[in-house]
Amino acid sequence: MDEGLLEGEANLKSCLEDWSDLNKEFTQLEATHDRYKKVLEDLWDIQKKCVTGIAHHRYRMKQITEKMTKIKENSKPETDEALKRLRSEMQQRKSQFREMEELYLSIILGSVSVSLLNKEDKFAYKYNYETFKATNQGLVGHSSLYIHGFLYIVQFFYQKGALYRLRALGQRHEMDITVEGFMSWMWKGISFLLPFLFAGYFFQLYNAYVLYRLSQDPQCKEWQVSFLAIIHLILSVGNITTTLKVVVDKLRTDRRQQLTTKYRFNSHEKKDS
């Protein structure tokens, strides 16, 4: 018989034996995988029970807190001491809940339920998240530079033209420079922009109202929504207040100049007569 055929039969026999061994190992692997799925299903059930239990505890604690607000303090020393101890224990219980719910993940992911079962996974998740956040911030910051740069250029040329005109009229000092923001000397030539400015500011105020309503929704559990509502409210109120102050000061100055010019002209007429 040819040596090649003999070698082929030997290799085939070896392959069949290896495959038979793999079939036995695969049977064990299937059993292990079935146990893994069973344990994982049990884990999900336990996790669901924990989440439900924490929600139930929070609801009961909220009811207890509402009842505590109806209790008058300084009524009896025993009552005050019991209230103080109860508040301390409830605060400690809230801290325990934060540890159970993985506070770091809940802050990042909001209401998304994520559980990392070992420290290696937690460190890997944190590393990947921080890498993603740094990359994202770099891209956003780089793209926003074009917008901010364009706005600064437009603002610079507008202020430069306004200063040039006011210097030529002798109404501004030679050493005045362009600044960031809205100043009273920018009034001339910018009156047509006021409706657009106020439209933008009131839109910020509307965004603050919408975000506040969203934060009051029972399904909203993220603190970021309330924080964004506060930021939009501060921005809108600050911008509206600043612009109104500049407008009012300018109107008062113009009114004062008109009255000064009027009475000065009248006094000159009396002297001439």
- pLDDT, tens only, 8-24: 777 788 888 888 888 88
Task: Please check whether residues 12 and 91 belong to one and the same domain.
Answer: yes
143-147's contacts with Cβ under 8 Å and 24+ in sequence apart are none
Q: How confident is the model at residue 70 (pLDDT cuts 50, 70, 90)?
A: confident
Higher pLDDT, 89 or 165: 89
* In a shared domain, residues 173 and 187: no
Range of the domain at 58: 3-109
The predicted-structure confidence for 43-55, as pLDDT tens digits, reads as follows 878 878 888 888 8
Domain count, the chain: 3
Pick 4 or 88 by higher pLDDT: 88
| Predicted local confidence at residue 185, as pLDDT | 46
pLDDT score of 116: 61
Based on the domain organization, do 45 and 9 belong to the same domain? yes
Buried b (16+ CB within 10 A) or exposed e, 209-236: eebbeebeeeebeeeebeebbeebbeeb
Per-residue pLDDT reduced to its tens digit, 143-188 = 556 655 665 666 666 666 665 665 565 555 444 544 444 555 455 5
Per the rule left: phi > 0, alpha: psi between -120 and 50, beta: everything else, 189 is left
pLDDT for the residue 261: 64
| pLDDT tens, residue by residue, 22-34 | 888 988 999 999 9
Q: What is the mean pLDDT of residues 243-251?
A: 81
Interval 194-202 mean pLDDT: 78
Could you tell me if 24 and 86 lie in one domain? yes
Question: Of the candidates 126, 148, 180, which is a domain's last residue?
Answer: 180
Residue 79 CB: number of other CB atoms within 10 A?
13
pLDDT at 114 over 70: no
Q: Is the pTM of this model over 0.75?
A: no
Same domain for 103 and 120, yes or no, is no
Q: Which domain-ending residue is among 180, 197, 212?
A: 180
User: Quick one: 10 and 105 in the same domain?
Assistant: yes
Q: Which residue has the tokens 């299903």?
A: 41
Both 25 and 98 in one domain: the answer is yes
Report the pLDDT value the prediction gives residue 225, as an integer from 0 to 100. Answer: 84
Percent of the chain with pLDDT over 70: 60
The answer to whether residues 103 and 10 belong to one domain is yes
Please report the pLDDT score of residue 35 as a whole number.
Answer: 92
Residues 190, 267, single domain; the answer is yes
At residue 141 the predicted structure's pLDDT band, cuts being 50, 70 and 90, is: low
Alpha helices in 101-223 (DSSP H): 103-109, 119-168, 194-215
Dihedral sign, Cα of residue 180, residue 181, residue 187, residue 193:
positive
Find the helix or strand (DSSP H, E) in which 85 lies: helix 77-100
User: Could you give the C-alpha distances from 170 to 22, 173, 224, in angstroms and in order?
Assistant: 96, 7, 51
Q: Are residues 166 and 121 in the same domain?
A: yes
Kindly state whether residues 165 and 240 are assigned to the same domain: no
Q: What percent of the chain is predicted at pLDDT more than 90?
A: 4
Give the Cα separation of 243 and 187 in Å (integer): 11
What is the band of 135 on the pLDDT scale with cuts at 50, 70, 90?
confident
Same-domain pairing of 28 and 55: yes
Of the three residues 125, 159, 180, the one that is the final residue of a domain is: 180
Rounded Cα gap, residues 125 and 130, in angstroms? 8
Helices (H) and strands (E) in the chain, counts: 6, 0
Q: What is the C-alpha radius of gyration for the chain, rounded to an integer number of angstroms?
A: 37
